[in-house]
């Protein structure tokens, strides 16, 4: 029997918990009464405000200008008025300036005119990806135009689309693949044209067999040169390093990038955004977000304007069915806990989870069981690193490759002593960097 591809080192198998929202088609959120559109919703330098208090804005209009090499433009999600610019705190604890926009009662119709991407060369396509504010929608929010700018001394032969969505609960990518599959595949072909990749592969885990069948059927009937690859379920397969090992059997060496092994990876939601940018000339001002978890009354997959407050998403889902222990932005393994329902969503917000109280486990000392070592997909020694970090020996931790840690949480997930290992890694990386 043929082996189902996956990555080789470490990984865990959390229950996928996608049952809450997987059967819910994407619904558009009714227009909120106010949006908080932040200037820092991508990796890199915040954008520079192009509008001021009292200015009118149009949907899709650029309102923030990228301010560095790694930065991205920000666009208005609505026709409306800038009530003010004020500080907001995002779910990832970043505090930054945001436009407070009051939408008009009348909004423009959705763009319907289409443009042929095949007649444009890769430089034209790349310029539009930059101009329309596309960033990685899987959570990393790396500006797409930077990722797709291939240096002259490098070449790329493989473009790998991440359709894995291996974090429990999340179903936004799943719904995009089912409902916008053709568009997402065309977006993948556009991205491959920009970077000059001949081979396009989309990796999807086997808990989404319907997506594998659906996208395979589209690719076959339309003659798209795309391989749809079913992957064994294993977390964190959505990470670039694990996904490239699983799909094209290449390893990224420590400190290197996918580009160094001739590959570029992008999330399937990003491919859909690229399609909309190039074919509809639509900037990235809205996204699909899963609002789910045990405590959500009616879990949904929602197409919401960037800047929507969590309170508006919760209201659209009928509020809480029971009191959650915590709200999480993103997935439960790598997402961020936050408290305020005034928090706005940003380009990287793939999920909003309201999680039920968990049985409190008592933390004990490390029993040297080695489970964290076996689970680490990077091959690190989490127990040793943790010991260095709690003893303030950051240099030792750095020498033992702490900076290679992906903060995936596999070590914490398996630790029978319930040690906050991933929290320790995050702190160690932050303090270790400062000490350098
Ligand atoms: S959080 Fe870091 S140390 Fe822990 S398993 Fe993931 S990569 Fe390894
Ligand atoms: S899994 Fe926990 S108890 Fe086991 S070796 Fe790692 S840190 Fe120690």
CA distances from residue 381 to 16, 92, 388, 394, 433 in whole angstroms, order as listed: 26, 27, 11, 14, 19
Ligand 1 and 181: CB distance under 6 A: no
Ligand 1 and 397: CB distance under 6 A: no
CA-nearest residue, atom 6 of ligand 2: 372
Q: What is the pLDDT of residues 103-135, one digit of tens each?
A: 999 898 888 999 999 999 999 999 999 999 999
CA-nearest residue, atom 5 of ligand 1: 376
**pLDDT number for residue 1:** 63
CA-nearest residue, atom 7 of ligand 2: 383
Give me the mean pLDDT over the 310-330 stretch. 97
91, 334 in Cβ contact below 8 A? no
CA-nearest residue, atom 4 of ligand 1: 411
**pLDDT number for residue 331:** 96
Instruction: Write out the H or E segment, with its range, that includes residue 14.
Output: none
Ligand 1 and 421: CB distance under 6 A: yes
What percent of the chain is modeled with pLDDT above 70?
A: 99
Which mutation among 235, 333, 334, 378 tests ligand 1's pocket best, with the greatest number of atoms within 8 A of CB? 378
Q: What is the pLDDT of residues 152-195, one digit of tens each?
A: 999 999 999 999 999 999 999 999 999 999 999 999 999 999 99
Ligand 1 and 380: CB distance under 6 A: yes
Nearest-atom number in ligand 1 for the CA of 375 is 5
CA-nearest residue, atom 6 of ligand 1: 408
Phi, psi of 278 (to 5 degrees): -80, -45
> What 3-state class would DSSP assign to 254?
coil
Whether pLDDT at 402 is above 90 = yes
- Distance from Cα 413 to the centre of ligand 1, integer Å: 10
> What 3-state class would DSSP assign to 261?
helix
Nearest-atom number in ligand 2 for the CA of 369 is 4
Ligand 1 and 402: CB distance under 6 A: no
Ligand 1 and 269: CB distance under 6 A: no
Give me the mean pLDDT over the 273-288 stretch. 98
- Distance from Cα 383 to the centre of ligand 1, integer Å: 10
Instruction: Write out the H or E segment, with its range, that includes residue 191.
Output: helix 181-195
**Hey, what's the torsion of the CAs at 97, 136, 345, 16, to 10 degrees?**
-150
CA-nearest residue, atom 2 of ligand 1: 405
Q: Ligand 2: residues within 6 Å at CB?
A: 366-372, 382-383, 414-417, 419, 421
- Distance from Cα 91 to the centre of ligand 1, integer Å: 22
Calpha distance 15→168 (Å, rounded): 7
Q: What is the pLDDT of residues 201-251, one digit of tens each?
A: 999 999 999 999 999 999 999 999 999 999 999 999 999 999 999 999 999
Cis peptide leading into 10, omega within 30 of 0?
Answer: no
Whether pLDDT at 62 is above 80 = yes
What percent of the chain is modeled with pLDDT above 90?
A: 93
**pLDDT number for residue 308:** 98
Calpha distance 258→362 (Å, rounded): 40
Decide the pairing of beta strands 336-338 and 326-329. antiparallel
Write out the DSSP string of 192-225. Answer: HHHHT-SEEEEEEEGGGHHHHHHHHHHHHHHT--
Cα distance between the two ends of the chain: 51
Tokens of 412: 């914490």
CA-nearest residue, atom 3 of ligand 1: 382
Q: Can you list the domains of the chain with their CATH numbers?
A: 1-6+16-29+106-358 (3.40.50.11540), 371-435 (no CATH)
Sorted by sequence, the CB contacts under 8 Å of residue 266 that are 6+ apart come out as 136, 144, 147, 159, 160, 161, 162, 188, 191, 274
Phi, psi of 99 (to 5 degrees): -75, 130
CA distances from residue 260 to 1, 9, 151, 404, 406 in whole angstroms, order as listed: 33, 20, 11, 16, 18
**pLDDT number for residue 177:** 98
Which mutation among 374, 421, 423 tests ligand 1's pocket best, with the greatest number of atoms within 8 A of CB? 421
Ligand 1 and 406: CB distance under 6 A: yes
> What 3-state class would DSSP assign to 159?
strand
Whether pLDDT at 358 is above 70 = yes
Calpha distance 167→290 (Å, rounded): 12
Residues β-bridged to residue 99: 37, 85
- Distance from Cα 379 to the centre of ligand 2, integer Å: 14
Q: What is the pLDDT of residues 249-258, one digit of tens each?
A: 999 998 899 9
Calpha distance 101→118 (Å, rounded): 36
Q: Tokens 């009530």 — which residue?
A: 83
The CA angle 240-256-133, to the nearest 5 degrees, is: 55
Calpha distance 33→56 (Å, rounded): 16
Q: Provide the edge-to-edge strand list for the sheet that holds 80-89.
A: 35-38, 95-103, 80-89, 56-57
For residue 404, give the ligand nearest its CA.
Answer: 1
Q: Which of 53-62, 104-113, 280-289 has the lowest mean pLDDT?
A: 104-113
Three-class DSSP labels, 283-311 = CCCEEEEEEECCCECCCEEEEEECCCEHH
């Amino acid at each position: 029997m043929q082996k189902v591809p996956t990555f080789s080192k470490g990984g865990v198998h959390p229950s996928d918990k996608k049952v809450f929202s997987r059967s819910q088609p994407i619904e558009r959120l009714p227009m909120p009464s106010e949006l908080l559109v932040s200037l820092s919703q991508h990796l890199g330098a915040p954008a520079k405000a192009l509008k001021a208090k009292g200015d009118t804005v149009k949907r899709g209009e650029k309102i923030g200008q990228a301010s560095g090499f790694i930065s991205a433009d920000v666009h208005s999600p609505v026709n409306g008025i800038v009530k003010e610019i004020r500080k907001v705190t995002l779910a990832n604890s970043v505090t930054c300036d945001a436009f407070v926009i009051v939408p008009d009662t009348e909004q423009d119709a959705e763009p319907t005119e289409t443009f042929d991407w095949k007649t444009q060369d890769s430089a034209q396509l790349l310029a539009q990806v930059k101009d329309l504010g596309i960033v990685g929608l899987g959570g990393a929010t790396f500006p797409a135009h930077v990722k797709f700018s291939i240096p002259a001394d490098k070449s790329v032969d493989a473009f790998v689309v991440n359709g894995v969505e291996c974090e429990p609960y999340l179903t936004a990518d799943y719904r995009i693949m089912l409902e916008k599959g053709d568009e997402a595949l065309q977006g993948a072909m556009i991205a491959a044209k920009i970077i000059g990749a001949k081979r396009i592969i989309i990796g999807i885990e086997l808990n989404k067999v319907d997506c594998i069948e659906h996208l395979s059927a589209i690719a076959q009937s339309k003659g798209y040169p795309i391989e749809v690859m079913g992957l064994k379920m294993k977390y964190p397969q959505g990470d670039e390093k694990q996904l490239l090992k699983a799909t094209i059997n290449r390893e990224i060496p420590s400190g290197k990038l996918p580009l160094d092994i001739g590959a570029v990876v992008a999330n399937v939601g990003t491919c859909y955004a690229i399609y909309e940018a190039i074919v509809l000339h639509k900037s990235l001002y809205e996204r699909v977000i899963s609002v789910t978890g045990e405590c959500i009354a009616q879990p949904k997959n929602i197409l919401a304007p960037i800047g929507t407050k969590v309170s508006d998403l919760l209201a659209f889902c009928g509020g809480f069915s029971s009191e959650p222990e915590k709200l999480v932005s993103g997935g439960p393994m790598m997402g961020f806990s936050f408290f305020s329902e005034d928090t706005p969503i940003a380009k990287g917000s793939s999920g909003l989870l309201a999680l039920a109280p968990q049985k409190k486990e008592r933390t004990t000392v490390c029993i040297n069981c080695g489970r964290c070592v076996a689970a680490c997909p990077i091959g690190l020694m989490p127990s040793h690193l943790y010991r260095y970090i709690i003893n303030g020996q950051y240099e030792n931790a750095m020498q033992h490759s702490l900076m290679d840690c992906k903060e995936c949480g596999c070590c914490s997930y398996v630790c029978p002593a319930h040690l906050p290992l991933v929290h320790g890694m995050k702190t160690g990386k932050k303090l270790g960097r400062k000490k350098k």
